[in-house]
Amino acid sequence: MSSLEGIAREVRRCRRCRLGYIRKNAVPGAGPSRAKMFFVGEAPGRDEDTSGRPFVGQSGKILTAILKSARVRREDAFITSVNKCRPPGNRRPRADEVATCRPYLMRQIDLVRPRVIVALGLHSLYALTTFRGSMSKARKYQFVYHGIPLIATYHPAAVLYNRPVRATIRKDIALAAQIARTTKPREGGIDPVPGIPFRKRVSSGGVPWDGGSKFLLIRRMDEGLWGIPKGGVEEGETLEQTALRELKEEAGLKGKTVCPIKRIRYRFYESESEMNFDKTVCYFLVRVRRGKVKLERGFEDYRWCTYEEACRILHYTNDRSVMRAARMAVRRLS
């Protein structure tokens, strides 16, 4: 799966619809890769087209002020639009322009996996749901996009024509912020989409253990998340062989599998391939000698840590449960 920066590069090169030929700058969106709140507008305007940044013009100033009054830090949110290029004269994006651009948005949501999405305006709501109706009706519902709560509110530009709408948007954004605060982090991507068949995937990984009290974690560059070396089982490989090969490739270390420690199964939807996946990951405790770690491209850091440190920096609950299993296996051995 690509990274947010990879998607942004594709968007900047994109010529899949007419807007790609007349824009000054494409506007892929901006924000942290682990943002809890994800805002979706309609399409860039003149100022965004000039700067390549989302919501920096008049609507952007209104949005920034509303975020502030709802106690949401703009820099903590991911902000983008359905269409990434400016339609001439700020006309509405056409159906074919939405259809060609929407996959970029879906992939961005997949990668960020926010806790809540805020659809700013009907255009954005229509692009992400099957709802067709007025905004006053939409505000009565809480939508779900691929398992992620979605709150609909007016586009900030509406405030220019109708000032009282500002308070409504503020209220909706405050509700979304509360959802973001109270929703648990999501595991393993987006919930499966009904009606799509499942493709099976098997991966294997090893928790590298130094024979004492330390385990090795590595950090991915694209997501900035700490994890355990693992990868897909290739044809003809045993699960142990995969775990050891991944450790060698990702961290440059040789090891010996000690014992299997955990098997995790989860199901998710990947919008890039438009497929549901049924994935099983098998984990082993792997004894390694603490030699020189040589990280594969795509990884930026490594750390030898105790069980407690590992649980503090691991993002996913699943990974923490694997560490618990590793610690239990080590205790049984001693």
Stretch that binds ligand URA, among 54-62, 225-233, 240-248, 326-334 (CB under 6 A): 54-62
Stretch that binds ligand URA, among 38-46, 231-239, 244-252, 281-289 (CB under 6 A): 38-46
The one among 20, 31, 44, 149 contacting ligand URA by CB under 6 A: 44
3-state secondary structure the chain: CCCHHHHHHHHHHCCCCCHHHHCCCCCCCECCCCCCEEEEECCCCHHHHHHCCCCCCHHHHHHHHHHHHCCCCHHHCEEEECCCCCCHHHCCCCHHHHHHHHHHHHHHHHHHCCCEEEEECHHHHHHHCCCCCCHHHHCCCCEEECCEEEEEECCCCHHHHCCCHHHHHHHHHHHHHHHHHHCCCCCCCECCCCCCCEEEEEEEEEEEECCCCCEEEEEECCCCCEECCEEECCCCCCHHHHHHHHHHHHHCCCEEEEEEEEEEEEEEEECCCCEEEEEEEEEEEEEECCCCCCCCCCEEEEEEECHHHHHHHECCHHHHHHHHHHHHHHHHHC
Residue 74 CB, shortest distance to ligand URA, in Å, is: 13
The one among 45, 149, 192, 229 contacting ligand URA by CB under 6 A: 45
Residue 27 CB, shortest distance to ligand URA, in Å, is: 6
Instruction: Kindly tell me which of 61 and 294 has the beta carbon lying closer to ligand URA.
Output: 61
In angstroms, rounded to a whole number, what is the distance separating the alpha carbons of residues 217 and 257? 17
Residue 42 CB, shortest distance to ligand URA, in Å, is: 4
Residue 271 binding ligand URA, by CB under 6 A: no
Size of the site for ligand URA (CB under 6 A): 12
Instruction: Kindly tell me which of 44 and 149 has the beta carbon lying closer to ligand URA.
Output: 44
**Alpha carbons within 13 A on the beta-carbon side of 2:** 18
The amino acid occupying position 298 is G
Q: Which of residues 160-199 bind ligand URA (CB under 6 A)?
A: none
Site string for ligand URA, 120-149 (x = CB under 6 A): ------------------------------
Stretch that binds ligand URA, among 51-59, 111-119, 190-198, 221-229 (CB under 6 A): 51-59
Residue 261 binding ligand URA, by CB under 6 A: no
The one among 28, 31, 41, 87 contacting ligand URA by CB under 6 A: 41
Instruction: Kindly tell me which of 158 and 325 has the beta carbon lying closer to ligand URA.
Output: 158
Which contacts (CB < 8 Å, 24+ apart) does range 125-129 have? 125/150, 125/152, 127/40, 127/82, 127/98, 127/102, 128/40
Residue 285 binding ligand URA, by CB under 6 A: no
Instruction: Kindly tell me which of 48 and 172 has the beta carbon lying closer to ligand URA.
Output: 48
Instruction: Kindly tell me which of 14 and 27 has the beta carbon lying closer to ligand URA.
Output: 27
In angstroms, rounded to a whole number, what is the distance separating the alpha carbons of residues 33 and 263? 28
The one among 43, 66, 150, 326 contacting ligand URA by CB under 6 A: 43
Site string for ligand URA, 77-96 (x = CB under 6 A): ----x---------------
Instruction: Kindly tell me which of 41 and 255 has the beta carbon lying closer to ligand URA.
Output: 41
The one among 11, 36, 42, 233 contacting ligand URA by CB under 6 A: 42
Residue 246 binding ligand URA, by CB under 6 A: no
Contact 206, 229 (CB under 8 A): yes
Q: Which of residues 2-31 bind ligand URA (CB under 6 A)?
A: 27
Q: Which residues here bind ligand URA, judged by CB under 6 A?
A: 27, 41-45, 48, 54-55, 59-60, 81
